[in-house]
Amino acid sequence: MSVFIIRRLLQSIAVVAVMSLIVFVGVNVVGDPVDMLINPEADQAEIARVIRDLGLDRPLHEQYLYFVKNALQGDLGKSFIFGESALKLIVERVPATFELALSALLMAIVFGVPLGVIAGMRPDAWSSKTIMAGSILGFSLPTFWVGLMMIMLFAVVLGWLPSTGRGDTVEVLGLQVSFFTLDGLSHLLLPALNLALLKISLVIRLARAGTREAMQQDYVKFARAKGLSESRVVMVHVMKNIMIPVVTVLGLEFGSLIAFSVVTETVFAWPGMGKLLIDSLHNLDRPVIVAYLMIIVLVFVVINLIVDIVYSLLDPRVRLKDAGQ
Q: CATH number of the domain that 246 lies in?
A: 1.10.3720.10
Does 318 have pLDDT greater than 60?
Answer: no
- Helix pair 86-121, 182-215: axis angle to 10 deg: 40
pLDDT reading at 202 higher than 60: yes
Residue 172 lies in a domain: no
Measure the CA–CA gap between 155 and 178, rounded to whole angstroms: 19
Q: Which of 26-30, 143-147, 200-204 bottoms out in mean pLDDT, i.e. has the lowest? A: 26-30
Amino acid type, 218: D
- Distance in angstroms (rounded) separating the CA atoms of residues 306 and 113: 21
pLDDT of residue 28: 67
Select the highest-mean-pLDDT range: 1-10, 63-72, 199-208, 300-309: 199-208
* 227 in Cβ contact with 136 (< 8 Å): no
pLDDT at residue number 124: 80
- Mean pLDDT check: name the lowest of 147-156, 180-189, 300-309: 300-309
Position 250 scores a pLDDT of 80
Decide if pLDDT at 324 tops 60. no
Q: Is residue 24 part of a domain?
A: no
The whole-number pLDDT of residue 287 equals 79
**What's the Rg (C-alpha) of the chain?**
24
How many whole angstroms separate alpha carbon 94 and alpha carbon 83?
19
Q: What pLDDT was estimated at residue 2?
A: 67
In-domain check, residue 309: yes
Determine, yes or no, domain membership for 34: no
Chain CA centroid to CA 325, Å: 32
How far does CA 307 lie from the centroid of its chain? 14
**Residue range 151-161: average pLDDT?**
87
Of all residues in the chain, the percent with pLDDT exceeding 70 is 86
**What is the residue type of 318?**
V
pLDDT-derived band at 29 (thresholds 50, 70, 90) equals: low
Q: Phi first, then psi: give them for residue 105, nearest 5 degrees.
A: -65, -45
| Residue 212 within any structural domain of the chain | yes
Cβ contact 285:80 at 8 Å: yes
Give CA–CA dist 250/107, Å, rounded: 12
How far from 68 is each of 18, 248, 291, 294, CA to CA, in Å?
Answer: 12, 32, 12, 11
> Residue 75: inside a domain, yes or no?
no
Q: 177 has which bridge partners? A: 170
pLDDT (mean) for 207-212: 84
Q: Which residues form the domain of 292?
A: 86-144+200-323
The mean per-residue pLDDT over the stretch 167-176 comes to 77
How many residues in total does the chain contain?
A: 325
Query: What is the spatial distance between Cα 117 and Cα 213, in angstroms, rounded to a whole number?
Result: 11
For residues 247 and 307, give the distance between their C-alpha atoms in angstroms, rounded to a whole number.
8
pLDDT the model gives residue 118:
86
Instruction: Supply the mean pLDDT for the chain.
Output: 78
* 3-state secondary structure labels for all residues of the chain: CHHHHHHHHHHHHHHHHHHHHHHHHHHHCCCCCHHHHCCCCCCHHHHHHHHHHCCCCCCHHHHHHHHHHHHCCCCCCECCCCCCEHHHHHHHHHHHHHHHHHHHHHHHHHHHHHHHHHHHHCCCCHHHHHHHHHHHHHHHCCHHHHHHHHHHHHHHHCCCCCCCCCCCCEEECCEEECCCCHHHHHHHHHHHHHHHHHHHHHHHHHHHHHHHHHHCCHHHHHHHHCCCCHHHHHHHHHHHHHHHHHHHHHHHHHHHHHHCCHHHHHHCCCCCHHHHHHHHHHHCCHHHHHHHHHHHHHHHHHHHHHHHHHHHHHCHHHHHHHHCC
pLDDT band at residue 320 under the 50/70/90 scheme: very low
38-42, 47-51, 53-57, 119-123: which has the minimum mean pLDDT? 38-42
Q: Is residue 155 part of a domain?
A: no
pLDDT reported for residue 207? 86
Is 133 buried (19+), middle (13-18) or exposed (0-12) by CB count in 10 A?
exposed
- Total domains present in the chain: 1
Residue 258 has a pLDDT of 82
Per-residue pLDDT, averaged over 259-269, amounts to 83
Identify the weakest region by mean pLDDT among 20-24, 46-50, 170-174, 302-306: 46-50
Of residues 263 and 260, more confidently modeled = 263
Q: With a cut of 50, say whether residue 306 has pLDDT above it.
A: yes
Q: Is the pLDDT of residue 74 over 80?
A: no
pLDDT at 177 over 60: yes
pLDDT at residue 217 above 80? no
In a domain, 32, yes or no: no
